[in-house]
């Protein structure tokens, strides 16, 4: 009763009640079939113990031997029904559990995609992976524990107790003495289970983190001979998981030997009591005594599972808490409730008195006023860390400004829908990312409805068609994880082709040609020049040679605009741009002379 009350209190509060109301109810049909099958298993288990009286009497009493054939048929039917019910129970319980795991993982992934870029900067991927996979599994395991515990095991135990009381009321007292002792023996296990499980989740996340860093940074690891350091990190994480897994196994395993010892005491007590004649005024028959002992022995397994149920609940609740903690976390970027789609327009971008800082630190951009005119190319130049990439992040609304506003065609981005904003913009970054699929699918992800002819045309614009055609399977060639099977220049040309295929009014290029050789850069630059005549283009460039033909150049330093104008105007000013120009081209001239 203590265990049932505690489980009930847990159910009424917090995540357990929510999990039951959301997941259990959603899979109610599958669980209903499983529960009916569990009731059948419990009934047939109790029936088999009760039938033992007639089996033994038929074997030992001459007057009962005429019933042997009927009893044999009953035994076959009973165990056949139990076998079928056990099969149905297992299948439907698994189906419901698998559906819960799939549903929770789908919910978590959809939730992750509602967050802004800052969320993924603040949360490590290993932690998110742990919450998504292990949290969903914990939700499934928790419901399985509750359903099997409160239905199958509880009903089986009740049925067997009824058989025991019916056969030998006085001897059944032994069971009611042993049961509470076993339950009290399990209570002390619960104090440390949750803390151990939380620590184990952290260690598992560290294992995943080391694996991810090894995969992503294998070149750095090899170059700087970091193998021993990575092995040491992994060994520490694995040892922590092993240690805590041993602790959990130790705590969970205490219940079984405790129950086995107490069950042995109970059987021995029954044997002694029955032989000395205290069981009642009438001497029990061999069949009654065997039926009682059978019920007592069969009650051991469900009683043991029920005694461990609380430990299992505590273990699962850690993962469920992590899962719902992620689902309940408020999105870092929220779309306005009355957001409207961006209206048709040429793509004029205005930044009005914009100030922005990451996580409340020193402002990266402060009181910036800047405009990007349609059908022109504006280049952002300046030293690293000046705020150029932050401008891109704000235009794409990965972040919102602390103060001020960013407008496209006169509409504040904070009031427009994400979908219409994304359709308006195409982007090529310095760190090219490709999905682990075919070249064709990587190109088409920017325009899912594009025809094969349009895809090929975009690839030709980016000077990528020739090398794609030479790949083993052409456009159907798999590129590997983040384009592992391609060179840096090939990846960047595919990224440019992907942006070309988008056909957006605004094109953002962040060092888009940095990984190309001089010949390929010249070809791609010529293609981009043709492409960008009718769109708003903003370019971040550290190599000034790539932006000398831009319509306007803006020099950014320490989050502020220090100069803007055409190349000729800025060179005549002898200011910051002239200094950058002289530094780069004087170095190039010296290198050429050498």
Do residues 368 and 559 touch, judged by C-beta distance below 8 A?
yes
In this prediction, residue 578 carries a pLDDT of 87
Backbone torsion region of residue 527, taken as left when φ is above 0, otherwise alpha when ψ lies between -120 and 50, otherwise beta: alpha
Query: Tokens standing for 285?
Result: 């028959």
Alpha-carbon span 291 to 283, nearest angstrom: 15
pLDDT in tens, 370-424: 999 988 889 999 888 888 889 998 998 888 898 999 999 989 998 898 888 888 8
Alpha-carbon span 487 to 437, nearest angstrom: 16
Strand (E) or helix (H) holding 315: helix 300-327
In this prediction, residue 394 carries a pLDDT of 92
Phi/psi for 512 (5° steps) reads -65, -20
Closest CA to 45 of 89, 91, 92, 1: 89
Strand order through the sheet with 552-557: 425-428, 506-510, 536-540, 377-381, 552-557, 560-565
Strand (E) or helix (H) holding 507: strand 506-510
Question: Could you write out the three-class secondary structure of 391-440?
Answer: HHHHHCCCCCCCEEEEEECCEEHHHECHHHHHHHEEEECCCCCCCCCEHH
117 half-sphere exposure, CB direction, 13 A CA radius: 10
In this prediction, residue 519 carries a pLDDT of 72
Alpha-carbon span 282 to 399, nearest angstrom: 85
Closest CA to 151 of 49, 64, 43, 250: 43
Domains by residue range for the chain, with CATH: 2-327 (1.20.1560.10), 349-593 (3.40.50.300)
Start-end of H helices in 125-169 = 125-147, 154-167
Which sign does the torsion angle of CA 269, 275, 280, 283 carry? positive
Q: What is the mean pLDDT of each run of 10 residues along the chain (594 residues)?
A: 45 68 84 92 88 76 71 86 91 89 86 81 78 84 87 87 81 66 55 58 72 72 74 82 73 63 64 56 68 79 77 78 82 80 88 87 88 90 86 90 91 89 86 86 87 89 88 90 82 86 88 70 68 82 79 90 88 85 66 44
Alpha-carbon span 302 to 109, nearest angstrom: 38
Do residues 258 and 185 touch, judged by C-beta distance below 8 A?
yes
Alpha-carbon span 351 to 354, nearest angstrom: 6
CB atoms within 10 A of CB 84: 14
Closest CA to 462 of 541, 528, 530: 528
Do residues 36 and 337 touch, judged by C-beta distance below 8 A?
no
* Beta strands 403-408; 552-557: pairing state: unpaired
- CA angle, 501 as apex, 396 and 488 as ends, to 5°? 80
Sole residue written with tokens 């705590």:
251
Query: Residues with Cβ < 8 Å from 376, sequence gap 6 or more?
Result: 536, 537, 551, 552
Closest CA to 501 of 427, 393, 420: 427
CA distances from 271 to 161, 190, 289, 357 (A): 18, 34, 9, 79
In this prediction, residue 530 carries a pLDDT of 61
Burial bucket for residue 537 (CB in 10 Å: 0-12, 13-18, 19+): buried
Query: What percentage of the chain's residues is helix, strand, coil (to nearest 5)?
Result: 70, 10, 20
């Amino acid at each position: 009763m203590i265990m049932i009350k505690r489980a009930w209190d847990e159910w009424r509060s917090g995540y357990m009640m929510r999990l039951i109301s959301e997941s259990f109810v959603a899979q109610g049909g599958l669980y209903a079939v499983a529960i009916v099958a569990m009731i059948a298993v419990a009934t047939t288990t109790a029936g088999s113990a009760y039938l033992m009286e007639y089996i033994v009497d038929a074997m030992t009493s001459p007057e009962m031997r005429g019933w042997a054939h009927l009893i044999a048929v009953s035994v076959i039917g009973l165990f056949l029904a139990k076998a079928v019910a056990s099969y149905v129970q297992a299948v439907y319980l698994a189906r419901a559990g698998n559906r819960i795991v799939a549903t929770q993982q789908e919910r978590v992934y959809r939730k992750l995609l509602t967050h802004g870029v800052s969320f993924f900067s603040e949360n490590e991927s290993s932690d998110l992976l742990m919450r998504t996979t292990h949290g969903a599994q914990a939700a499934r395991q928790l419901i399985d524990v509750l359903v099997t515990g409160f239905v199958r095991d509880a009903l089986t135990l009740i049925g067997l107790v009824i058989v025991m009381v019916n056969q030998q009321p006085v001897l059944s007292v032994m069971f009611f003495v042993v049961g509470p002792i076993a339950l009290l023996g399990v209570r002390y296990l619960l104090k440390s289970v949750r803390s151990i499980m939380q620590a184990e989740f952290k260690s598992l996340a560290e294992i995943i983190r080391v694996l991810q860093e090894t995969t992503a940074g294998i070149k750095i690891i090899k170059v700087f001979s970091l193998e021993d350091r990575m092995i040491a990190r992994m060994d520490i994480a694995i040892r922590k998981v092993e240690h805590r897994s041993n602790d959990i196994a130790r705590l969970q395993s205490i219940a079984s030997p405790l129950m086995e010892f107490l069950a042995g005491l109970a059987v021995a007590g029954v044997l002694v009591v029955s032989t000395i004649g205290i069981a009642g005024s009438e001497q029990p028959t061999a069949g009654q005594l065997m039926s009682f002992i059978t019920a007592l022995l069969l009650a051991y397994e469900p009683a043991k599972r029920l005694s461990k149920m609380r430990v299992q609940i505590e273990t699962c609740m850690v993962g469920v808490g992590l899962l719902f903690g992620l689902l309940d976390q408020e999105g870092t970027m929220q779309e306005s409730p009355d957001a409207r789609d961006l209206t048709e327009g040429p793509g004029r971008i205005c930044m009005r008195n914009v100030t922005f800082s990451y996580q409340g630190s020193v402002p990266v951009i402060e009181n910036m006023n800047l405009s990007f005119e349609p059908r022109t190319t504006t280049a952002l130049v300046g030293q690293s860390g000046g705020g150029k990439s932050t401008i891109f992040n704000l235009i794409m609304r990965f972040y919102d400004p602390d103060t001020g506003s960013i407008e496209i065609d006169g509409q504040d981005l904070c009031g427009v829908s994400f979908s219409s904003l994304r359709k308006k913009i195409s982007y090529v970054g310095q760190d090219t990312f490709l999905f682990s699929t075919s070249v064709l699918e990587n190109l088409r992800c920017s325009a899912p409805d594009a025809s094969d002819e349009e895809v090929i045309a975009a690839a030709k614009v980016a000077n990528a068609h020739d090398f794609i055609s030479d790949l083993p399977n052409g456009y159907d060639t798999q590129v590997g994880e983040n384009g592992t099977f391609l060179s840096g220049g090939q990846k960047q040309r595919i990224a440019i082709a992907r942006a070309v295929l988008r056909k957006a009014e605004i094109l953002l290029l962040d060092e888009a040609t940095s990984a190309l050789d001089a010949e390929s850069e010249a070809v791609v630059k010529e293609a981009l020049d043709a492409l960008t005549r009718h769109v708003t283009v903003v370019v971040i460039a550290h190599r000034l040679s790539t932006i000398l033909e831009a319509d306007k150049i803006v020099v950014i330093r320490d989050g502020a605009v220090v100069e803007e104008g055409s190349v000729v105007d800025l060179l005549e000013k002898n200011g910051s741009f002239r200094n950058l120009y002289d530094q780069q081209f004087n170095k190039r001239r010296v290198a050429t002379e050498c």
